[in-house]
Structure 1
């Protein structure tokens, strides 16, 4: 079965101190592991970049922060596009149509931020009928309000798995989908 890896918003702007403390310092290493495995398996890779509409945002188009992190320097995506909202299914490209036209029914998600763009993409993908897998250890987020980034990640995992939107697992578990 063809499985597309969708890497969401792996951008330098998320290193800006404005976002505050993050969790999962191993996320970039796990993203690289997924990227290398997908390339070796010849499976489709999709890179999504968030273009913030807010002037002064670290993710505003044309700023250094809008660039992808170095972990993606060797990436050769089958599809690369931008979005201005949380869901990758609502970007400058019809992702649903692109996947469907290629007969892709299973997607693996990783990237930034766990509880915003990754979770929203997983929910929409699940609602559209895709077999969605989230490599939780290849995502990260930031403290928000009274909740730590780890608490938010745990809530996302619970929402996605418990709500039937996605299978939430580790990078190692996701790699078995390539066998």
Structure 2
């Protein structure tokens, strides 16, 4: 696996998730880590493909035209960066993501975003099934606390840990922002 031509795929880095209608999240470093990854990819001229959830559900905070549909500050696509609009959990379903990646000659996809257990996980799983080398930057992901179906609540960090473990066991290489940036720097040094 090489990062020399890896695509960065920020998933659903949208403002809706800060609205009070959503459950509590846990990762206070989400934005800082995600922005560090974006900066590293942009500095090196590597491909960035942004994923935005354009909900078709009535009343959704993620629906086009709603304030929550907008990207979080700093996560807006820049000129030349692709925008993938999806309406289901996987960024590959009902979009041209696979075609875009193939045209770019991409085999490795680095993924981060919201939420670990939903759209990030589904995108990583489908990407792995499509035979891409998937890399999950776990500390640049976030998720929500969830009802456990028995009247209790599963803490968001527990939901995150379980899904990261599952993805790392079967579908992706799991890393941290710091380790990935170091690896990216080392790879750039070897190419020079």
TM bucket (normalised to shorter chain) is: over 0.9
- Residue 61 of structure 1 and its aligned partner are, at CA, apart by 0.9
- Residue 75 of structure 1 and its aligned partner are, at CA, apart by 3.8
Secondary structure of 1:89's counterpart equals coil
- Per mean C-alpha deviation after superposition, the further-off stretch among 74-83 and 104-113 is 74-83
Contact 2:84 2:97 in 1 (8 A): no
Secondary structure of 2:21's counterpart equals helix
Contact 1:47 1:77 in 2 (8 A): no
Q: Does 1:113 align with 2:119?
A: no
> Larger Cα Rg: Structure 1 or Structure 2?
2
Counterparts in 2 of 1:31 and 1:43: CA distance versus 1, 3 Å = same
Structure 1 stretches of 5 or more lacking a match? Answer: none
Q: d(CA) in 1 for partners of 2:15 and 2:79?
A: 18
- Residue 174 of structure 1 and its aligned partner are, at CA, apart by 1.9
Counterparts in 2 of 1:33 and 1:77: CA distance versus 1, 3 Å = farther
Q: Does 1:147 align with 2:151?
A: no
- Equivalence for 1:39: 42
Contact 2:50 2:77 in 1 (8 A): no
- Residue 78 of structure 1 and its aligned partner are, at CA, apart by 2.3
Equivalenced residue count is 177
- Equivalence for 2:150: none
Q: d(CA) in 1 for partners of 2:100 and 2:92?
A: 10
Counterparts in 2 of 1:22 and 1:77: CA distance versus 1, 3 Å = farther
Structure 2 stretches of 5 or more lacking a match? Answer: 148-152, 188-192
Q: Does 1:89 align with 2:92?
A: yes
Contact 1:45 1:76 in 2 (8 A): no
